[in-house]
Structure 1
Amino acid sequence: MKQFSLDLYKEAKCNRAKESFNEFRKLLSEEKLENIVKSSEKFRKGFKIR
């Protein structure tokens, strides 16, 4: 029962995150979404763990 509850909690948390992300996407234009993707890629390329 404990594992079932934990799995249910994780699934609900994941679904809330997906819903929030989809709502966020609706607020942004296609151009702004593309700029976010480009900025993220640029950051990842320049990021190094020291």
Structure 2
Amino acid sequence: MSILGFGVYQISDLEECERVVSAAIEVGYRSIDTAQICRNEEAVGNTIKKVE
């Protein structure tokens, strides 16, 4: 279980958000921290759905 999460609150560009979340997952992050106010939840969700 990871003890460190990856925060995406400062990433407003949705394509960049998908790219960095994908990279974070590739290197082992399993906790992605986002919030409704960030307005990037859809990009995070789309990226997670693509993970095999």
Q: Provide the TM-score with structure 2 as the length reference.
A: 0.33
Q: Which has the higher contact order (CA 8 A, sep 6+)?
A: 2
Give 1 or 2 for the bigger CA radius of gyration: 1
**TM-score if structure 1 supplies the norm length?**
0.35
Higher strand share goes to which structure?
A: 2
Relative to its length, the structure with more helix (as a share) is: 1
